[in-house]
Structure 1
Amino acid sequence: MDIIVAGHICLDIIPDWRIGGIKTIIPGHILEMSGLKLSTGGAVANTGITLKKLGISTTLLGKIGSDALGKVILEILQKEDKDLVENMIISQDEISSYTIVLNPPDTDRVFLHYPGPNHTFNANDIPYEKIKNGRIFHFGYPPLMKKFYENEGKEVVKMFRRVRKMNIIT
């Protein structure tokens, strides 16, 4: 593997909002959508899939739940390349992370985010022995991952120090 992409991963749930702006949201009313798109989100999926499409040997490290959302995340990753799911951590007792992306016409997007297992993912979840031959380690979205921003970021420092001792570029 050349690049390890670790960190935040979620399922983006994107309603197809074609008519009316944000002001069309009225409490107690139904706003009809034109469809729905499901996509992986977060640095692990966004960066990792792009690198794979560019032909770069890539390993993904993220944490999802064993629920329906997690299954969709795995399916999307497997459609790109079956090897992308090899090092994903599947938590049996957590709901997968998701983001509902509201994108009404002529308005900036609004994100409704549930962090799920991203908040419990920590430096000990990294399979250091498996990544020892990697060249580059990319860690995405520490500000969205509780274990990496709490305690003044000690967990993220611990992780990067260990990876750098392995002579992997961070």
Structure 2
Amino acid sequence: MHSIDKTKKPRYAAIAAGLVCLDIIPGMQNIEGSDFDRQFLPGKLIETDETLLSTGGSVSNTGLAMHRLGIDTKLICRIGNDSFAEILKDLYRKIDERLLDSLIVDSDHMTGHAYVINPRNQDRRFFHHPGSSDYFTAKDVDDALLKSAGLFHFGYPPMIRTMIADEGSELLALYQKVKNYGLTTSMDMCVPDPTRSSGQAPWNKILQKTLPYVDLFLPSIEEILFMLDRSLYERLASTGDLIKHVDDVLLRDLSQQLLEMGCKVILIKMGYRGVFLRTSDTKRLSTMGASCPSDLSSWENLSVKQPCFEVEVKGTCGSGDTCIAGFLSALLRDLSPEETLKIAAGAGACCCEQPDAFSGLLSWDKLCDRINSNWKIKTEF
């Protein structure tokens, strides 16, 4: 593998918009996942280590990671006028005072928050309340910010009430608005609660309407299976390890469906197995907007898998979001597909070395140095 060129500078600023929350993470590094499942019973007390309060949601996880990776990033999200909001603002302020500039204060609704249950050797689980994020609309995205950026990323529309109402009409309006300014558009998803309106929304219809305006679609395998093939999702999820049962045929089928819906680049996150990249032809890639790669031929018609880097996992909270941040940060520097995938995998891996979504992240130079120093890759995808 050739070394990643860490000297390339970002071509544009970025916007990270969508859902934000305060993550409340009980210290569970000394609690094995299987033990927790057996012991977390009615009337039972489980002693934890110190609780960590951390920035959460797509806006925090992806936006702050891009900021750490050297991208000029504006955060557009709704917070309340409450103690949770004050904690979030203080956490942002400690990173960079400018991150507060585009926050929207919604005094009528509580700040979103999530309880992250993250025992050792087990994927995390959440209790989540969207709060003020539920009221995000296309009008919240200021035209002046769109004029000054080259990439727009929106995260977790399934968890935002306004985005799923009326078969996603507000989500469509948002992406149409952004595309009118010539930005490259990106979208990440989440698996909604199947018992709530978010889980019962007509996701196939929503994606068919919206993806023609989304250049980069970056879901996890769980998310896209939930939305495109609910019965298969439920069958594989019932095994306890959905990711293990995903094969190349399924990846090709799902990504082909998404390409036919209109997006140009698809990155499917596969947890401990890595990421899968699928791209369209040069004609469609050329319509990607400001952050379009300069060498379209190197991105054309790809179907590529990138395994994970090896780390000692202390938590998986935010790892998919930071993987996306790595991908977008490399794209904004016009790196090759190979380099972009390695940066994405590296950013996600660093995130897993700490229980929260931010403190494990490295700067751009340090991440490139770690990858260039023969960081060991898992041999199997």
Which category of TM-score, normalised to the shorter sequence, fits these structures? over 0.9
Match of 1:166 in 2: 181
Displacement of 1:106? 4.2
Partner-residue secondary structure (3-state), 1:94: coil
Which residue of structure 1 lines up, in the alignment, with residue 131 of structure 2?
116
Find the aligned partners of 2:40 and 2:157 in 1 and give their Cα distance. 32
Q: 2:160 aligns with which of 136, 141, 145?
A: 145
Deviation at 1:38, TM superposition (A): 1.1
Partner of 2:48: 33
Q: Aligned partners of 2:163, 2:63: CA distance in 1, in Å?
A: 20
Gaps of 5+ in 2: 1-11, 186-381
**Alpha-carbon distance in 2 for matches of 1:87, 1:79:** 16
1:108 deviation in Å? 3.3
Aligned residues of 1:21 and 1:105 also touching (Cα < 8 A)? no
Greater Cα shift, 113-122 or 99-108: 99-108
Instruction: Using the TM superposition, give the Cα deviation of residue 42 of structure 1 relative to its aligned residue in structure 2, in angstroms.
Output: 1.2
The letter of the residue matching 1:36 is: T
Instruction: Tell me the matched-pair count.
Output: 170
The structure with more radius of gyration? 2
Q: Answer with 121-130 or 134-143: which moved more.
A: 121-130
- Structure-1-length-normalised TM-score: 0.94
- Opposite residue 115 of structure 1, the aligned amino acid is P
**How far apart are residue 74 of structure 1 and its match?**
0.9
Aligned counterpart in structure 2 of residue 13 of structure 1, from 2, 20, 24? 24
Deviation at 1:6, TM superposition (A): 0.5
Which amino acid in structure 2 is aligned with residue 100 of structure 1?
Y
Mapped contact 2:138–2:177 kept (Cα < 8 A) = no
Aligned residue runs from structure 1 range 99-114, under 5 A: 99-114=114-129
User: 1:4 and 2:19 equivalent?
Assistant: no
- In structure 1, the gaps of 5 or more residues are none
Instruction: Indicate conservation of the 8 Å contact 2:146/2:181, yes or no.
Output: no
Greater Cα offset, 136-145 or 26-35? 26-35
Whichever residue aligns with residue 3 of structure 1, its letter is A
Indicate the SS of the match to 2:15.
strand
Tell me the SS of whatever aligns to 1:150: helix
C-alpha separation between the residues in 2 aligned to 1:39 and 1:101? 10
Give the alignment partner of residue 131 of structure 1, picking from 138, 141, 146.
146
Deviation larger for 149-158 or 15-24: 15-24
Percent identity of paired positions between Structure 1 and Structure 2: 35
User: Aligned partners of 2:86, 2:37: CA distance in 1, in Å?
Assistant: 31
Structure 2 residue 57 is the aligned partner of structure 1 residue 42: yes
Paired residue type of 1:108: D
Relative to total residues, which structure has the larger strand share, 1 or 2? 1
Match of 1:78 in 2: 93
Distance 1:59 1:126 in 2: 11
SS at match of 2:67: helix
1:50 to 1:106, Cα distance in 2 relative to 1, 3 A: closer
Residue identity opposite 1:14 in structure 2: I
Q: Distance in 1 between matches of 2:89 and 2:57?
A: 14
- For the residue of structure 2 that corresponds to 1:76, the secondary structure is helix
Query: Is contact 2:116–2:124 with CA below 8 Å preserved after alignment?
Result: yes
